[in-house]
Amino acid sequence: MRFGLAGTGYWARIAHAPALSSTVDVELTAVWGRNRQAAAELAAEYQATPYHDISAFLAGVDAVCFAVPPDLQAALATQAAREGKHLLLEKPVALTEAAADGLVEAVEQAGVASVVFFTNRFLPEVRAWLAEVEARGGWAGGVSAWLGSALRESNPFNTPWRRDNGGLWDVGPHMISLLWASLGPVTSVTADPGPADVAHLVLHHRGGATSTTTVTLSAAEAAAGFEAYVWGESGRLAAPEGSDDPVTALGTALCELAANARAGQTGHPCDVRFGRDVVRVLAEAQRQIDARRAGRPSA
Ligand SMILES: NC(=O)c1ccc[n+]([C@@H]2O[C@H](COP(=O)([O-])OP(=O)(O)OC[C@H]3O[C@@H](n4cnc5c(N)ncnc54)[C@H](OP(=O)(O)O)[C@@H]3O)[C@@H](O)[C@H]2O)c1
């Protein structure tokens, strides 16, 4: 399956390009970027063709792997789906519900396969934890936090879209995806902001469990880290932090996307519809945070 890579930034270089080049049955044939030199350099490293024109880029591939900011991803992925390309998307799939809905509509109309790279959902140790969560059952709730330091000056992930949208939209999707998979679909969210980009979310899950998560990208490095556990009759079960090897996890996501595309199968637990559902939770949380910051009642 011929894949095009959209994006030439740090994440594309350390995760997407190596994963595409090391995954069986997947070939990195094209690289698109607004920066012609960066596209040429990345493409040359992988014997792929660089593109500046998006239509020419899409014309020669079967599938597209995205490593661009979420608002740009939503627009480009909608175009790619309309042209019949399978999609390996990044989280969040969009920055608005309208853009996420438009993307889902394009994917469904074209009948293409999609997978969203919620990293921890593709790690074997997290999948084993989720299987144990399901096998034990009887969970009353979950407690979690991802305190990131990406907005620190020297961090390679200190990018404009993260500065604009903060931890809610960057690490929030990972936490919502994990709590959703372990405790059931999220039916409502209550959100309250803390200092800087700190966001506290209370989630209600279908079935009655409730969970909390705190997310930020502004933590001091000494405080940074991830933790999550579910609790219930049988005690607590802590989620593994997971390896920091995104290439292997992304390889799994690519294999599953390619297998679905070949089988004509469009559904996946982390497909674009799930990505859109997570955006709905984020957008509602953002509305409440904006209202609270502006001193308005949020309901
Ligand atoms: N799953 C994970 O664990 C994980 C980890 C990291 C990142 N991500 C995801 O990866 C995606 C990319 O994030 P990032 O921080 O790498 O983004 P970024 O550095 O801001 O941008 C990545 C690429 O998009 C290009 N770009 C930015 N704005 C553009 C515009 N207006 N028009 C055309 N090209 C534009 C950049 O070009 P320039 O180089 O010219 O600026 C760069 O090639 C996000 O969805 C993020 O959530 C996921």
pLDDT of amino acid 78: 98
All residues at 6 or more sequence positions from 89 whose CB lies less than 8 Å from its CB, including other chains? 66, 73, 77, 114, 115, 116, 117, 272, 275
Residue among 190, 188, 191, 192 at smallest CA distance from 204: 188
Is 96's C-beta closer than 6 angstroms to any atom of ligand 1? Answer: no
The stretch 289-299 carries a mean pLDDT of 85
Is 117's C-beta closer than 6 angstroms to any atom of ligand 1? Answer: yes
From CA 28, how far away is CA 41, in angstroms rounded?
Answer: 14
pLDDT range class, residue 25, cuts 50, 70, 90:
confident
Averaged pLDDT of the chain:
97
From CA 82, how far away is CA 106, in angstroms rounded?
Answer: 6
Between the CA of 93 and the centroid of ligand 1 the distance, in Å, is 12
Walk across the sheet containing 63-66 and list its strands: 49-51, 27-32, 2-6, 63-66, 86-89, 114-116
Residue among 249, 237, 121 at smallest CA distance from 175: 121
Please check whether residue 67 is in contact with residue 12, taking contact to mean a CB–CB distance below 8 angstroms: yes
The 10s digit of each residue's pLDDT in 26-38 is 999 999 999 999 9
The 10s digit of each residue's pLDDT in 89-147 is 999 999 999 999 999 999 999 999 999 999 999 999 999 999 999 999 999 999 999 99
Helix-, strand-, coil-residue percentages of the chain, each rounded to 5: 45, 25, 30
The 10s digit of each residue's pLDDT in 52-88 is 999 999 999 999 999 999 999 999 999 999 999 999 9
pTM listed for this prediction:
0.98
Closest CA to ligand 1's atom 6:
11
Two structure tokens written together for 26: 């997947």
Please check whether residue 20 is in contact with residue 30, taking contact to mean a CB–CB distance below 8 angstroms: no
Is 121's C-beta closer than 6 angstroms to any atom of ligand 1? Answer: no
Is 33's C-beta closer than 6 angstroms to any atom of ligand 1? Answer: yes
Strands 139-147 and 225-232: antiparallel
